Amino acid sequence: MAKNFFKVACADCGNETTIYSRATTIVSCNVCGATLTKPSGGKADLVGCTVVEALE
Ligand SMILES: [Zn+2]
């Protein structure tokens, strides 16, 4: 079963945040404002971050 949440690190500033894998809105970095994910076909498409850890 797929994990529903990911801990990700912003590619620009390294700030870590937790995102929902099926986020339907654009998620921005809290620190620098970079776009981290955007919705794509019912799941979040990681565009400006790297996955640190998959959470439950
Ligand atoms: Zn950032």
CATH number, domain of 23, equals 2.20.25.100
pLDDT at 2 over 60: yes
* Phi, psi for 33 (deg, rounded to 5): 85, 5
Report the relative pairing of strands 5-10 and 49-55 from DSSP bridges.
Answer: antiparallel
How does pLDDT run across 17-46, given as a tens digit for each residue?
999 999 999 999 999 999 999 999 888 999
What does R_g of the chain's alpha carbons equal in angstroms? 10
List residues, by chain if needed, whose CB lies under 5 Å from ion ligand 1.
10, 12-13, 15, 29, 31-32, 34
Greatest Cα pair distance, the chain, in angstroms, is 33
Number of domains into which the chain is organized: 1
Q: How far is residue 44's CA from residue 56's CA, in Å, rounded to a whole number?
A: 16
**pTM for this entry:** 0.85
C-alpha of residue 43 to centroid of ligand 1, in Å: 21
Cβ atoms of residues 21 and 44 within 8 Å: yes
C-alpha of residue 41 to centroid of ligand 1, in Å: 24
Domain span including residue 19: 5-55
C-alpha of residue 39 to centroid of ligand 1, in Å: 18
